[in-house]
Amino acid sequence: MHVFSVDGVPAVLWTPAGDDRTGATPLIFIGHGGGQHKQHPAVQYRAERFVAAGFAVVSADIPNHGDRAPDERLNQLAGTVGDIARFQALAAEQTVPEWQAVIDAVHARIGAGPVGYWGVSAGCGLGVPFVAADPRVRAAVLGLGGASANAAVAARITVPVEFLIQWDDERVPREQSLALFDALGSVDKTLHANPGGHSDRLPEHELDSQVRFFTRHLIPTESR
Amino acid sequence: MHVFSVDGVPAVLWTPAGDDRTGATPLIFIGHGGGQHKQHPAVQYRAERFVAAGFAVVSADIPNHGDRAPDERLNQLAGTVGDIARFQALAAEQTVPEWQAVIDAVHARIGAGPVGYWGVSAGCGLGVPFVAADPRVRAAVLGLGGASANAAVAARITVPVEFLIQWDDERVPREQSLALFDALGSVDKTLHANPGGHSDRLPEHELDSQVRFFTRHLIPTESR
């Protein structure tokens, strides 16, 4: 595990041991959730599963989280449910270029392989504009987020998406979730919905499915 | 492949070669779609994938299909879109006991292992009452069917379900599909939605997912 920072943005990189594939290691960027940080157990857990499957994984603290200095402007929005969309829109103005710079730095270190994005909840709110903006991203797991924040931007996404809904989400209305999936411009998109609330643990088979999803789209057949 | 019949119901059984697991072979019953039959290519294709994964597979002609004699009462309903629910309700009165007898016959031949059910479209309309009625069924793939026919019966299903929706289904309204998923009584249920119309080919990764779903629920960990 390699902790670093790019222009003041704290980030962490996990790389697989003994990668003997030809070509650059595929990279998954994990966008953490609200209230979490780049090494939160929920991030670490997924990172380890992806690394075991042959991916490098990078995550970065989003504004006002983790090792970053408090941002009063964002702070005022962060706790207010009705302002989540505004918080994410404001934060995304920062995170899109920040995450692109983080990927530049990782590519300079391990080689410029294909990139995947994983992010739900705030990681979806910030992930939608990021995936739409960066053509290096070839596949994305998104979800637990609604259309109100992001429908127009989502329409610009064309890469394969695996989209998660918690069927009993008390924070994102079901119709909003379905509408965001509907808005995605991707031809290859799959919705996975499971019973449970916004913060309930996702079924383990979903992480298995995500490993296969990224493998299918980021690792050439002959290298699997 | 073994073609047989039980009380006049034509059926076909595929079994895996060289099954060296201890215990009885797990069995998947495939309910074919409307206009198809027990050896339709769509059935055969899935059967071969399941057999390769270690399952026995059985399918049976539904009333008024395949090698069965025409049934005038059903025939009058079959072609009429608005009468699909009535057709399925009437047909299910026959298919539930017929399929139970088919499973009895297969179990007598290969041993009474755990049973899974796979059926979409008409195979969902007939599958919901079957899965609800037969406690030998431990897991089911259902979908491309709506709540109007089956919501009350679906609430009695408690086994794990993987439920498929074609996002642009022109025959089953999206709200009807979502309502049938919602109605399922199962604690462990996952909705998989993909772009496409009612009769469009399902993505190949869905069949991969179904193999893993049945493996997870029908094959003991130590035998996989």
User: For the purposes of burial, counting CB atoms within 10 Å of the CB of B188, is it exposed (0-12), middle (13-18) or buried (19 or more)?
Assistant: middle
Residue B189 has pLDDT above 90, yes or no: yes
Question: In this complex, do A181 and B193 lie within 8 Å of one another by their Cβ atoms?
Answer: yes
Question: In this complex, do A194 and B191 lie within 8 Å of one another by their Cβ atoms?
Answer: yes
* Span B107-120, pLDDT tens digits: 999 999 999 999 99
How big, in percent rounded to 5, are the helix, strand and coil portions of chain B?
45, 20, 35
Smallest Cβ distance to B191: which of A187, A192, A213?
A192
Mutate to test the interface with A, among B141, B158, B167, B216 (most CBs of A within 10 A): B167
Could you read off the pLDDT tens digit of each residue along chain A, which spans 224 residues?
A: 999 999 999 999 999 987 556 678 999 999 999 889 999 999 999 999 999 999 999 999 999 899 998 888 777 766 565 567 777 888 899 999 999 999 999 999 999 999 999 999 999 999 999 999 999 999 999 999 998 878 899 999 999 999 999 999 999 999 999 999 999 999 999 999 999 999 999 999 999 999 999 999 999 888 77
Alpha helices in chain B (DSSP H): 41-52, 72-78, 84-110, 122-125, 127-133, 147-154, 174-183, 204-218
* Span B23-35, pLDDT tens digits: 789 999 999 998 8
B208 neighbourhood in chain A, CB within 8 Å = 212
Smallest Cβ distance to A192: which of B187, B192, B195?
B192
> Which superfamily does B2-223 belong to?
Alpha/Beta hydrolase fold, catalytic domain (3.40.50.1820)
Spatial separation of the C-alpha atoms in residues A169 and B93, rounded to whole Å? 37
Question: In this complex, do B195 and A187 lie within 8 Å of one another by their Cβ atoms?
Answer: yes
B213 neighbourhood in chain A, CB within 8 Å = 205
C-beta neighbour count of A52 within 10 angstroms: 11
Judged by average pLDDT, the poorest of A18-27, B120-129, B135-144 is: A18-27
Smallest Cβ distance to B205: which of A181, A206, A216?
A216
> How close does chain A come to B127, measured CA to CA in Å?
21
- Which residue ranges make up each domain of chain A? 2-223
Question: In this complex, do A190 and B193 lie within 8 Å of one another by their Cβ atoms?
Answer: yes
Region B39-43 average pLDDT: 96
The whole-angstrom distance between residue A125's C-alpha and the CA centroid of its chain comes to 9
Whether residue B105 contacts residue B17, with contact meaning beta carbons closer than 8 Å, is answered with no
> How close does chain B come to A192, measured CA to CA in Å?
5
Tell me what pLDDT residue B185 has: 97
- Max mean pLDDT range (A11-20, B71-80, B139-148): B139-148
> How close does chain B come to A48, measured CA to CA in Å?
22
